[in-house]
Chain A
Amino acid sequence: MSWLLIALLAVPALTAALLWALPAGTGERVAAIVGSVISGLVLIGSGVLWWKLVRPDGPSVLTAGDLPRTLPGKVHGYAETDVSWIPSLDVRFHLGIDTISMPLIALTALLVFLCCLYSLRITPRAGRMRSLIALLLVIETGVIGTFSALDLVLFFLFFEVVLIPMWLVIDIWGDDHDRAGRRRAATTFVLMTVLGSALMLLGFLLVHRLTGSFDIEYLSSHPWRSSGGTGLKAALLIAVGLAVKMPLWPLHIWLPDAHAKAPTVGSVLLAGVLLKLGSYGMIRILLPVLPGDSATIAPYLGGLSTVAIIAGSLACLAQTDVKRLIAYSSVGHMGFIGLGIATMSPEGLTGALFANIAHGIITGLLFFLAGAIKDRHDTSDLRAIGRALYARLPRIGGLLTFACLASLGLPGLAGFWGEMLVLLGAYHPGNLLPRTTFLVFMVVAGIGTVLTAAYFLRLVRNLCQGDPAEYPAAAFAVDLSRIELIAWAPLIVLTVFLGLWPWFLLQYWTFL
């Protein structure tokens, strides 16, 4: 039993329950403070857990050469809790972390903390802060639970925990101007994800039929090696379920609306952590448990990912709404992550894991900035916002340029390393994969990076630059406020830090 990990799961959920139990008046007033304190504690807890995992005399696998390069995604569990839960269904309550999941847990804790901090001052127009903060905390439990579940059914369960809270966040606090639109966006999001996760569950059940176990730790050391037949069906079902969440083209259709209509904190969490549930699931479950069948579907996965990179970038070039643009850019970036996973090579997987974290940080920052711009102009339409942000909101304009550059993969910032490693992985795909195909993917994805640069630079040009005389500053448009600076500073610092010292994370994944 590891009480620390269980506390990371239980504390946010219990705090949410406590907030709802408070009388409405008090609850509204203290919600953001309680949320910040508790999510801050969770962040500290996850930091402690991380340290315990990687400390020099600790249990983790740190340096290359200590272990042979084993299966990608194999669990080297730490802080495990493993108790029988539903014996008749062979379901265990099995939690644990390793160096693949720990950074994602920390990222989740960080982003939820920043969202709560941000909500101290900046609140959506719908109010009801008590419920909003409580739902954010429930989402935190669900996401951290998904990242630490070592039982397929438990993974599925935590995967689903997130759905209804996120649906409520989009539906209640979403875009004020478009009631029907936000409801439709929320419902599309929840229904597509539920269908995907139901299919994923079918895949898990097929895995259980083949191997007789739901335990990820057991399965990753006793994988189903043969390919074809039921195993292939299982791999396809799991891949489709996770691809909806990730989302992989053409299953991404829920994403632009959901991200664009969600309130700022909702968009940040959706893009920053929820999408990672899909990519994490592929690395944690699909590759290690069904290696043979994963190799069968990997070229298709890589192909669709490459299409996602190009399609996402082209869609971005056509967007006139800043939030939708960033949402579509996520499709492209998640395409890179998908391609990295599909290469099944150490470089590709490491790149995918790194890009996961980098995308969470950078896109989190981008959505914060987009939210700030939207709040100041009461619209996210680029044409209505006008140009010359450098003149009107110099600090926010500068930060937006910084985040765009990070997102397009400028060397020296966090976005660069993941995509570079993914391309490198596509150059040396896993042994079982057709190399020529992946070389083509690499070239096409390379063109995608150019397109990414094009649309981000276009965004900067259309939004930040321009003649200030033509676009006078609105009276209420104040520049960067203190709370925004505090909430965003960690993301900015991390973007630079991971860009300059990627080894900080990469060192944990040398065993892949």
Chain B
Amino acid sequence: MTMTWTDWQAIAVPLVLALGAITVLLADALWRTGSKQVRHTVITLITGAAILFGLAFIAVQRNSVKPAFCRPAVEGPAQCSLVFEPLTVGLWAVLLIGGLGVVGLSAYRLLDVDIPVGEYHFLLLSALTGATVLAGARDLATVVIALEVVSLPSFAMVALRRDRRGSEGALKAFLVSVLSTAVMLFGISYLYGVTGSLYLQTIVTRLPAIDPDLRRVAFAAGLFVIVGFGFKIAAVPFHGWLPDTYAGAPVEVAAFLAVVSKSAGVGGLLVLVTFGVAPSGSSLRTVVCILAALTMTVGNLAALRQAEAVRLLAWSSIGQVGFLLAPLAVGDAQAAVGYLAAYVVVTLGAFGAVAVVQRHRPAGLLTDYRGMVRSEPGLGVALVFFLVVLAGLPPGLAGLFTKFAAFQAVLDAHIGWLAAVMAVNVMIGLAVYLRWIAELFRLPADDPFSVDIENPAVAVISTCAGAAVVLSILPSTLFALVT
């Protein structure tokens, strides 16, 4: 099979990311002269350049459609493995912005000194490569491979600090991930057996017409694939690994998991649900609805009881993904990607703020944040704003309108019970974030938090806050990501 120019264009971004990954690894391994600061900065810049190339590429090409690695099908249009189209553009934008934010949070003096810089950025870029491929993948083999390319570097990143908690978290995530891949492969094999194809496009045309006896097999197969993804995005009841993994990982890596890894999983599931295994009207969509309801409720309820900032963010990210699964379940890509984008921006900011505080107060308790609005106004106000966006209340209109779009998608699909569950979860979610906001607004304790915040952290947090403000004033940008 020869590669056409379109193929090259469609994989340009993952390719550049992969090349960047190898470059930083080699640079770190071979270039031993120079101070640590210079090496760290150069590696950050290379990583950032690779990601910025991706962002520039999608900015230029956002309106084009490039089906790549196609082959003519027996019936219907050609089958393609990777498609660059508006949905891909939206997902890539979210993934790359998330990746860039994590790179910013991992700048010199921010990243833990025990973490090897080259490996860290290599793993980050590798995972981003996998994530971008996953968002464009249109056949099941590519989906599985891309998902593994996202997952494997993630465990390594969790364990990079090489302490007990990190290893435990990484091992948990690894075991769960292996299990979920096995489950997914099992489902895919059945799906192939039933439909005779791995291409999503062919599967979706053949599924309605299959032998009625095979219906249940096809349902089970789709269920296994969704359950596999459920592990990756930590949908309840497959979420057990997530809080320990987040808490064990360095904060930057937790941010990476919450932002890039999670978005990749959601993106993959979105592609699968909208294009493949669960076409509109399929009972698998009901399964995703039930997953959504469970995930948001359990995530938010558990978040209510957390006393540590990272664990609270971990559980609330489960709740957020539950909310995100609702528009996903009804196949509303626009609402889902908009939600994801708002979530990524403010989660990055919140983890950035947590990272600043945890560097000085390693316990990471919510009470460490007491009085921060007064003692450290910039950081305190930004954090309050991020939390308000996550809760979806004014002034965090970015969060409010993405929740609004999710409600609209669910109601338009006539799933009233899910909308009611979502309404209750808006309340529980608010209770979660209010606990934290209350600490921030209290009078400062005896020893209020006030430090010189490192410049890169200031830059990342204020960029996130600025972006969140802009998205709150012009929420339509969020929904313009997927047209």
Contact = CB atoms under 8 A, between A and B. Distances in A.
B393 A206 contact: no
Given A187-B434, A202-B420, A195 B427 contact: yes
Contacts of B404: 89, 153, 201
Contact of B441 (A89, A168, A187, A209): A168
A163 B393 contact: yes
Interface string A148-165: 000001000110110110
Contacts of A24: 374
Contacts of B411: 202, 205-206, 209
Nearest to B428: A191
B463 to A, nearest CB: 20
Q: How large is the interface on A (under 10, 10 to 19, 20 to 34, 35 or more residues)?
A: 35 or more
B469 interface: no
Contacts of A321: none
B412 A86 contact: no
B433 to A, nearest CB: 10
Contacts of A191: 427, 430-431
B6 interface: no
B441 A172 contact: yes
Give the interface centre of B374, B420, B426 by most chain A CB atoms within 10 Å. B426
Given A86-B475, A89-B405, A201-B404, A194 B412 contact: no
B358 interface: no
Q: How large is the interface on B (under 10, 10 to 19, 20 to 34, 35 or more residues)?
A: 35 or more
B334 A160 contact: no
A424 interface: no
A190 B423 contact: no
A89 B426 contact: no
Contacts of B395: 161
Contact of B407 (A167, A172, A183, A201): A201
Give the interface centre of B394, B412, B423 by most chain A CB atoms within 10 Å. B394
A142 B479 CA distance: 26
A194 B430 contact: yes
Interface in B254-268: none
Contacts of B437: 164
A161 B438 contact: no
A157 B374 CA distance: 28
A202 B394 contact: no
A183 B416 CA distance: 33
Contact of A89 (B374, B408, B423, B438): B408
Contact of B424 (A160, A168, A171, A195): A195
Interface string B280-306: 000000000000000000000000000
B127 interface: no
A158 B393 CA distance: 10
Given A86-B479, A88-B476, A190 B434 contact: yes
B159 to A, nearest CB: 39
B405 A160 contact: no
B394 A157 contact: yes
Nearest to A168: B441
B69 interface: no
A241 to B, nearest CB: 9
A199 interface: yes
A24 B430 CA distance: 29
B73 interface: no
A198 interface: yes
Nearest to B420: A202
B56 interface: no
A201 B392 CA distance: 13
A25 interface: no
B467 interface: no
Interface in A103-135: 128
B386 to A, nearest CB: 14
Contacts of A68: none
B431 A171 contact: no
A384 B378 CA distance: 45
Given A172-B441, A198-B426, A201-B404, A89 B431 contact: no
A163 B392 CA distance: 12
B401 A86 contact: yes
A67 B193 CA distance: 72
Interface string B319-341: 00000000000000010000000
A142 B394 CA distance: 10
A87 interface: yes
A202 B426 CA distance: 12
A202 B434 contact: no
Contacts of B419: 202
A215 to B, nearest CB: 16
Contacts of A167: 434
Interface in A163-218: 163-164, 167-168, 171-172, 183, 187, 190-191, 194-195, 198-199, 201-202, 205-206, 208-209
Nearest to A131: B441
A198 B479 contact: no
A169 B416 CA distance: 35
Contacts of A142: 394
Contacts of A208: 408
A164 B397 contact: no
Nearest to A141: B394
A87 B478 CA distance: 12
B400 interface: yes
A160 B441 contact: no
Contact of B426 (A85, A187, A195, A233): A195
Contacts of B133: none
Give the interface centre of B411, B423, B426 by most chain A CB atoms within 10 Å. B423
A164 B431 contact: no
Contacts of B388: 164
Contacts of B423: 195, 198-199, 201-202
Contact of B412 (A163, A195, A209): A209
B307 interface: no
Contacts of B412: 209
A190 B397 contact: no
B480 interface: yes
Contacts of A202: 407, 411, 419-420, 423
Give the interface centre of A153, A191, A233 by most chain B CB atoms within 10 Å. A191
Contacts of A160: 393-394, 400
Contact of A88 (B374, B434, B479): B479
B393 A194 contact: yes
Given A183-B438, A191-B430, A202-B411, A86 B476 contact: yes
Interface string B445-483: 000000000000000000000000000000110011000
A489 B109 CA distance: 61
Interface string B378-416: 000000000010000111010011001101100110001
A505 B441 CA distance: 42
Given A160-B393, A195-B423, A89 B434 contact: no
Given A164-B437, A167-B434, A190-B434, 9 more contacts: A86-B479, A87-B476, A88-B479, A160-B400, A161-B394, A164-B388, A194-B393, A195-B426, A201-B404
27 contacts: A85-B476, A86-B401, A88-B476, A89-B404, A89-B405, A89-B408, A89-B476, A128-B443, A153-B404, A157-B394, A157-B400, A158-B394, A160-B393, A160-B394, A163-B393, A164-B393, A167-B434, A168-B441, A171-B438, A190-B430, A191-B431, A195-B423, A198-B423, A198-B426, A205-B407, A208-B408, A209-B411
Interface of A: 24, 85-89, 91, 128, 142, 153, 157-158, 160-161, 163-164, 167-168, 171-172, 183, 187, 190-191, 194-195, 198-199, 201-202, 205-206, 208-209, 233
8 shortest interchain CB distances as A-B pairs: A198-B423, A88-B479, A195-B427, A161-B394, A198-B426, A86-B476, A205-B411, A194-B427
